Amino acid sequence: MQSTTVLNLANTITLLRILAVPLFLSALADGTYNMAVIVFVAAGVSDGIDGAVARLTNTRTELGAHLDPLADKLLLISAFIALGILDAVPRSLMITVIVRDAVILGGYLTTAVVTGQPMEMRPSFWGKATTFFQISSVGIVLLGQAEWLSVGTPVLLVFFIATGLLNFISGGGYVLDGLQYYQDFEAGKLPHQQPDSATPGDD
């Protein structure tokens, strides 16, 4: 990771995206869906800009690597919670999204505590597909609520069902990865473990 000033342009853009979450939620609470759409789209565009800026200026930092996915998760989870409360998306889908990310975060923290080394979370195909459908579902709902787009119920159901199924598939995949990581730890196969280090059950 490139060592550079922590509060650089790329990280500042990411922080602004995090600060946009309260504005987005306020717009939803007030029923000003036009503003909500604008903030949501602007946040999505900034997600691509901060990464491009970091690469082009060679100013990638460890902080930015953690802030970027955090900003994405905050916006998406907040959107599903707010839209679920407003009955714009099924509450079952809202709960599925929350539980999936809670399980992934809990598993990540648990493996870090138990093994002493955080597990590297590589985005899987199913994880990327889940994010795509989460963003698409929120975007379509917002466009419909703002009356920018006429979206029929069958189309919404397709996106909601696909998003729900992908949440289960990708969440299950990350759980299996976590179990494999713990199994490798028990066997002393993790990169940070010394070849002669003792593992539980050796005595």
pLDDT digits (tens, 9 = 90+) for 71-95: 999 999 999 999 999 999 999 999 9
Per-residue burial over 74-91, b if 16 or more Cβ lie within 10 Å, else e, is: bbbbbbbbbbbeeebbbe
Residues 74 and 96 in one domain: no
Residue where a domain stops, chosen among 67, 86, 105: 86
Residues 48 and 99 in one domain: no
Q: Contact at 8 Å (CB) between 174 and 107? A: yes
Distance CA 94, CA 84 (A): 6
Residues 109 and 49 in one domain: no
In the numeric block, which tokens belong to residue 88?
Answer: 């714009």
Residues 101 and 151 in one domain: yes
* pLDDT the model gives residue 84: 97
Q: Which residues of the chain have pLDDT under 70?
A: 1-6, 192-203
In the numeric block, which tokens belong to residue 87?
Answer: 């009955």
Residues 112 and 70 in one domain: no
Residue where a domain stops, chosen among 86, 107, 123: 86
Residue where a domain stops, chosen among 36, 53, 86: 86
* pLDDT the model gives residue 118: 76
Residues 69 and 99 in one domain: no
Domain total of the chain: 2
Which range of residues forms the domain containing residue 114? 89-203
Residues 15 and 50 in one domain: yes
Residues 130 and 143 in one domain: yes
Q: Contact at 8 Å (CB) between 10 and 58? A: no
Q: Contact at 8 Å (CB) between 172 and 99? A: no
* pLDDT the model gives residue 6: 67
* pLDDT the model gives residue 192: 65
